Structure formats: structure tokens, C-alpha cells
């Protein structure tokens, strides 16, 4: 009898010894929190697990003391194997030394000399035996990681975990629950399937943080009774709600608050299109003492105060004087679809665009022309 999807997922994780957790290039608090929680559970199963993403760790959780290391590139993907045919000649001595940017290996034969055909150089098998993609709608969403190592992704089993209806089910096994509000909620469900004893207060705190962040403290329109039931189960497991609220909402810097004030001063709405947007110049960042890294928190505030909006747009001028747009959408509006003529990066929920040799006002006009009526 063939295995069910649930059994396949469990077997895939159990058979893995060195899984790689991969987050999308625009990963947010939910993705990171789900990864931290899943990392803790996999460590309990004696898995040598690694987290990797090209996305920066969100400021609201970067200072947490209990989160695992996150790599921006895949560490030690495979070894370089140097094979010497000793049947042709025995080896008398081996030594090596380093020079600037070089490693030199010296093999001394007992007699005669080595020939080129006696030595082969090749990569070993990949160090990781399972890829777990968290919140990526497709492999392209993994950004630079997929672009740099496509062969690795194509030759390694993939477990795809997500909650987005836009997910393309690209994994060999897909754990995609479109009724869930967050990756944290889906990961909680997976742990219950595998072994409820894996859940502890640290893992529960990570999952609940992702849920609270993704639902803006359970204010978004996709919150269901099941969502609240899962949150209750995580609290019963020891999730530290006050700690979560403190890190997500009570540690905003003065610079971020100043930047938020400038966003509010230019806030515009179009109810006929379910649209909310604002603009920031390079001088706004200077006067606020803020950086681009503060913008995700500003976007989160815009979403929290605009629960009825289908599309939220923030346009800003970066240090290179290019115009960058961050667009967040809710169905039936899809971010990458409406921005397709501007070469967006991201997914159907959030897309980023870069416009060169244009002004904020011109960029505003171009984007607003693309937002559909709802």
C-alpha cells in the first residue's frame, strides 16, 4: 500500500541525517520563527540541521538569545576529493602548505614520478540529504541560493512547507495548508503528526511568534477558529506570549518611529481599489536617522492599520537614488502579477521593484496605473 502524504513527510524527515532549512529571499518574521522552531525539533531528533537564506534577519528578532545561527550562503555544500592511483606508484610522503589564496599539496612517490592520469579531482556527494523549503512559493523564490546552486536543488529531495494558495507544489513532498495563517501554524501541525512530545516552550514560542507576526496579533481577515485553537495549544505548551509581544511591538527604535511618522504624513488611500500607499525620500531617512532595514516594521504597521486594504505600497528613494517599491497584497490581488511589466522580485503576497533614472512622483504614477479595481 502506498504511503500517504503524511507518512511520506514523516519518513522523509526520519531518514534524513543532515537537512537544510531554506527560507525565501524576502523571508519575514514568520519564516524565520518557523525555521527556528523546526530547527529545535530536528535537533531533538539528532539531525545536523542548518538554516540558510539570502534574506536579512528581521530586526525585531535579530537580538533574540535563543535562536540558531542563520547562514547567508550554503556552508560546505560538498568536499573536493583528490584521488591518487597508488597501484601505479606507492606514496612515500604527504605534506601541504598554504600561500595567499592557495593550498598546495605535495605527494612524494617512492620511485619515479606521478603522471597526470594517476590523479583525479572531483566533488563529493552533497553534504545535505534533504532540503526543507519554508514559505517559498517556488524554487525561484529562494533567490540567489537557487540561482547559484540549481543542480543541488534539482538532485536533492525537497520538502515544501507553506500556507500560500499560490504555492506551486514544487516539492517531492508538499505540506501546503492553505487554511493556515502562517508557516508557524503549518510547522506546529507537522510536529503533532510526527511526535507531539517534540513540542516544548521554546519551539512553541517560535511558532506562536510567527503566527502573531503574520496575523498582526490575530487581526487579519484569514484568522479562523482553528487559528485561535492552535494559538491556544501553543500557549498551553508554554509559549511565552509577553516575550513575543515585547520583541515584536515594544522595542521599536526612535528612528523607526520617526520614519513611521513621515510615512503617515504622506499616507494616501483609494477605497475604490482597496489601496493604501506612501512615499519616502532619501532625506526622510536622513532626518529620521533610519535605514532601509527599518522598513519591514513600517510596512507591518501599515498593514495593521489598514485591515481592509487589498494592496499596500511603500515607495522610497535608496542611497543610490534609485526608487524601490515594496508591494504587499491580499487575494484577489497578486503582487508579482500586477507588477509583471516592472520585473518584480518576490511572490504573490509581496514583491519588490527597482526603478532607475526616475523620480518618486513618476514611480508613483507608474505603479498606481497598474493597481486594478476590486
Same domain for 243 and 318, yes or no, is no
Q: What is the pLDDT of residues 275-293, one digit of tens each?
A: 999 999 999 998 888 888 8
Same domain, 260 and 241: no
One domain, residues 344 and 211? no
Indicate which CATH number applies to the domain containing 220.
Answer: 3.90.1640.10
Domain boundary residue, one of 222, 247, 272: 247
Which pairs count as long-range contacts for 67-71, CB under 8 Å and 24+ apart, including other chains? 67/32, 67/36, 67/206, 68/36, 68/39, 68/40, 70/32, 70/35
Q: How far apart, in Å, are the Cα atoms of 155 and each of 5, 32, 130?
A: 21, 25, 10
The answer to whether 347 and 24 are in contact (CB under 8 A) is: yes
Give the three cell numbers for residue 212: 502573531
pTM recorded for the entire structure: 0.81
Pair 96, 229 in one domain: no
- Domain extent, residue 103, equals 80-123
One domain, residues 272 and 316: yes
The three-class DSSP label of residue 161 is strand
CA–CA gap between residue 342 and residue 70 (Å, rounded): 31
- Which residue, among 366, 364, 365, 327, has the nearest Cα to 349 in the 3D structure? 327
Same domain, 211 and 283: no
Same domain, 54 and 201: yes
Q: State whether 11 and 133 are in the same domain.
A: yes
Q: How many domains does the chain have?
A: 3
Q: Are both 67 and 177 inside the same structural domain?
A: yes
Let me know: does 51 contact 70? Beta carbons within 8 Å.
yes
Is 212 found in the same domain as 69?
Answer: yes
Which of 45-54, 99-108, 173-182, 223-232 shows the lowest mean pLDDT across its residues? Answer: 99-108
The pLDDT tens digits for 37-66 are 999 999 999 999 999 999 988 877 876 777
Per-residue pLDDT, averaged over 346-358, amounts to: 87
Q: Cα–Cα distance between 72 and 74 in angstroms, integer?
A: 7
> Is 364 part of any domain?
yes
Amino acid at each position: 500500500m502506498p504511503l500517504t502524504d503524511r507518512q511520506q513527510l514523516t519518513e522523509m524527515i526520519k531518514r534524513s541525517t543532515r537537512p537544510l532549512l531554506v527560507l525565501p529571499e524576502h523571508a519575514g518574521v514568520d519564516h524565520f520563527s518557523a525555521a527556528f522552531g523546526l530547527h529545535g525539533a530536528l535537533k531533538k531528533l539528532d539531525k545536523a540541521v542548518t538554516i540558510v537564506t539570502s534574506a536579512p534577519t528581521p530586526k525585531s528578532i535579530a537580538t533574540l538569545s535563543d535562536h540558531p545561527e542563520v547562514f547567508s550562503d550554503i556552508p560546505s555544500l560538498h568536499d573536493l576529493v583528490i584521488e591518487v592511483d597508488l597501484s601505479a606508484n606507492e606514496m612515500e610522503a604527504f605534506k601541504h602548505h598554504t600561500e595567499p589564496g592557495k593550498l598546495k599539496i605535495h605527494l612524494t612517490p617512492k620511485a619515479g614520478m606521478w603522471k597526470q592520469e594517476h590523479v583525479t579531482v572531483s566533488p563529493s556527494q552533497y553534504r545535505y540529504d534533504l532540503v526543507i523549503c519554508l514559505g517559498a512559493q517556488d524554487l525561484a523564490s529562494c533567490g540567489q541560493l537557487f540561482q547559484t546552486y540549481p543542480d543541488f536543488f534539482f538532485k536533492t529531495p525537497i520538502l515544501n512547507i507553506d500556507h500560500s494558495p499560490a504555492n506551486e507544489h514544487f516539492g517531492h513532498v508538499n505540506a501546503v495548508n492553505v487554511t493556515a495563517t502562517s508557516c508557524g501554524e503549518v510547522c506546529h501541525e507537522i510536529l503533532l503528526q510526527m511526535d507531539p512530545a517534540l513540542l516544548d516552550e521554546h519551539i512553541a514560542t517560535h511558532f506562536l511568534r510567527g503566527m502573531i507576526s503574520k496575523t498582526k496579533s490575530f487581526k487579519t481577515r484569514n484568522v479562523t477558529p482553528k487559528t485561535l485553537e492552535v494559538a491556544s495549544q501553543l500557549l498551553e505548551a508554554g509559549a511565552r506570549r509577553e516575550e513575543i509581544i515585547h520583541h515584536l511591538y515594544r522595542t521599536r527604535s526612535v528612528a523607526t518611529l520617526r520614519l513611521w511618522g513621515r510615512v503617515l504624513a504622506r499616507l494616501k488611500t483609494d477605497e475604490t481599489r482597496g489601496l493604501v500607499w506612501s512615499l519616502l525620500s532619501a532625506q526622510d531617512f536622513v532626518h529620521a536617522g533610519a535605514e532601509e532595514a527599518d522598513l519591514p516594521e513600517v510596512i507591518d504597521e501599515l498593514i495593521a492599520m489598514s485591515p481592509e486594504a487589498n494592496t499596500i505600497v511603500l515607495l522610497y528613494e535608496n542611497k543610490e537614488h534609485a526608487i524601490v517599491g515594496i508591494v504587499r497584497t491580499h487575494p484577489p490581488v497578486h503582487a508579482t502579477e500586477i507588477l509583471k511589466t516592472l520585473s518584480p522580485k518576490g511572490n504573490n503576497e509581496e514583491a519588490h521593484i527597482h526603478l532607475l533614472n526616475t523620480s518618486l512622483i513618476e514611480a508613483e504614477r507608474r505603479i498606481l496605473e497598474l493597481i486594478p479595481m476590486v
